[in-house]
Amino acid sequence: MDSDILVSRTRTITTAQGATGYLRIDLAALGRNYRKLVSMLTPVRAGAVVKADAYGLGAERVASTLYGEGCRHFFVAQFVEAVRLRPTLANDAQIFVLNGLQPGNEIACAERGIVPVLNSLAQWRQWSATARMLKRCLPAVLQFDTGMSRLGFPREERAELAAALGDGSNVEILFIMSHLASADDMESDQNGEQCAEMSCIADEFPGFDLSFANSGAVFLGDAYHGVLARPGIALYGGAPNAGANNPMEPVVSLTVAVVQTRTVPAGTKVGYGGAYVTQREMRLATIAAGYADGLPRSLGDRGAVYFNGTRLPIVGRVSMDSVTVDVSALPEGALTLGSLVEVLGPSQTLEDIARDAGTISYEILTGLGDRYDRQYR
Ligand SMILES: *Cc1c(COP(=O)(O)O)cnc(C)c1O
């Protein structure tokens, strides 16, 4: 036991002193974001989407925090994520596998009390055969495709499904659901179209509870709420609706250490391919995060990091483990070996960096690597 303590202390000391990047995850802010969504949804319940390791933030820490806030419905994408998360959560929490029931997982799924989201008749038959074999009633969720052509029962399978349900079975349907393709765009016609299709489905499958809204749809109004919402990105501080003000609180901040500085004359090539050539004397700093740490290569010559609010443009290509930035705007000597610059924080939001990288906040979050020292507050 003593040696355990020693090991963990040593680890803390070495990472805290020597880390080249600090990823801070504010669990209190996560809790406030959840409460904000709950207050917008009440009496509709708010679940939480914690797939892809809770969008890169750590599914166990995130799910435990949200459980503490009263969340009891947790959505992952893959069966393996549900298996990993199951021991963290008490039995009154349910874990749903959005990508559906994969052949070979049926027994393990049933035995671990994981709830599959059934997306097709084939999956429905497999799950009900499993229930018969185990001589048990097994829970499931039914997902319908309302216009995304990604997952869920297609329209052609609905009649047969309705008949199968009518025949009585040993599968207990907890609720039915669908997913919106364009909920982040409040102006999109697709929202109304999918909502109309969902009401047809509700008529064809009367008596079932409905889950529809992701983060964006929480802000589209009651028609989209069903009885259980499934927010993801908004919990983690991402903007639920593109172009609108972000009502959520930031959860993640990232600072990265300077590993070298130099001053170079005009005409100096910087980085791989010599793709950037200085036009004037320039002070440069190389910081210890690259595309392997989740800074997309598309940030090359486009993105920036910040120091005390001053923008430091990325020059040249993003390397695997580092990027080089122009620090000429800072007083000489402001940055030295070990100084920390801001990648995500008060000067640069997730949306800012995603825009510069030509991507979305989701991809930035889920890409954040595991070489940072992660600090949960
Ligand atoms: C990822 C996902 C969500 C969460 O979406 P956000 O836009 O992050 O809120 C909800 N439902 C389904 C089916 C999903 O795949």
CATH number at residue 326: 2.40.37.10
Cβ atoms of 158 and 146 within 8 Å: the answer is no
CATH number at residue 162: 3.20.20.10
Domain assignment present for 371: yes
Q: CB under 8 Å to 123, separation ≥6 — which residues?
A: 100, 101, 116
Cβ atoms of 268 and 280 within 8 Å: the answer is no
Whether residue 192 sits in one domain with residue 85: yes
Domain assignment present for 60: yes
Cβ atoms of 73 and 228 within 8 Å: the answer is yes
Whether residue 169 sits in one domain with residue 109: yes
Confidence (pLDDT) at 16: 55
In this structure, the number of other CB atoms found within 10 A of the CB of residue 270 comes to: 22
- Give the tens place of pLDDT for each residue, 49-99: 999 999 999 999 999 999 999 999 999 999 999 999 999 999 999 999 999
Confidence (pLDDT) at 243: 86
Domain assignment present for 344: yes
Whether residue 62 sits in one domain with residue 13: no
Whether residue 319 sits in one domain with residue 226: no
Residue 14's pLDDT band, with cuts at 50, 70 and 90, is: very low
Confidence (pLDDT) at 166: 78
- Give the tens place of pLDDT for each residue, 94-113: 999 999 999 999 999 999 99
Mutate to test the pocket of ligand 1, among 96, 179, 228, 233 (most ligand atoms within 8 A of CB): 179
Domain assignment present for 3: no
CA dihedral 225, 226, 232, 237 (to 10 degrees): 20
Residue 129 parent element (H or E): helix 121-134
Residue 17 has pLDDT above 70, yes or no: no
Whether residue 63 sits in one domain with residue 203: yes
Angle at 25 between CA 20 and CA 26, to 5 degrees: 140
Whether residue 270 sits in one domain with residue 160: no
Whether residue 224 sits in one domain with residue 165: yes
Alpha-carbon distance values, 279 to 269, 286, 303, 329 (Å): 10, 18, 18, 15
Name the residue with the closest Cα to ligand 1, atom 12: 179
What residues are labeled active site?
51, 272
How far is Cα 303 from Cα 343, in angstroms, rounded to an integer?
10
* Pocket lined around ligand 1, Cβ cut-off 6 Å: 49, 51, 98, 179, 214-216, 230-234
Confidence (pLDDT) at 18: 76
- Give the tens place of pLDDT for each residue, 285-320: 999 999 999 999 999 999 999 999 999 999 999 999
Cβ atoms of 34 and 66 within 8 Å: the answer is yes
- Distance from the alpha carbon of residue 49 to the mean position of ligand 1, in angstroms: 6
Q: Give the burial class of 98: count Cβ atoms within 10 A of its Cβ; 0-12 exposed, 13-18 middle, 19 or more buried.
A: buried
User: Which residue range(s) make up the domain with 76?
Assistant: 27-236
Whether residue 87 sits in one domain with residue 206: yes
Whether residue 68 sits in one domain with residue 96: yes
Cβ atoms of 217 and 180 within 8 Å: the answer is yes
Cis peptide bond upstream of 43, omega within 30: yes
Is position 320 annotated in a ligand binding site? yes
* Ligand 1 atom closest to 77 (CA): 15
Domain count, the chain: 2
Residue 4 has pLDDT above 70, yes or no: no
- Distance from the alpha carbon of residue 275 to the mean position of ligand 1, in angstroms: 38
- Distance from the alpha carbon of residue 214 to the mean position of ligand 1, in angstroms: 5
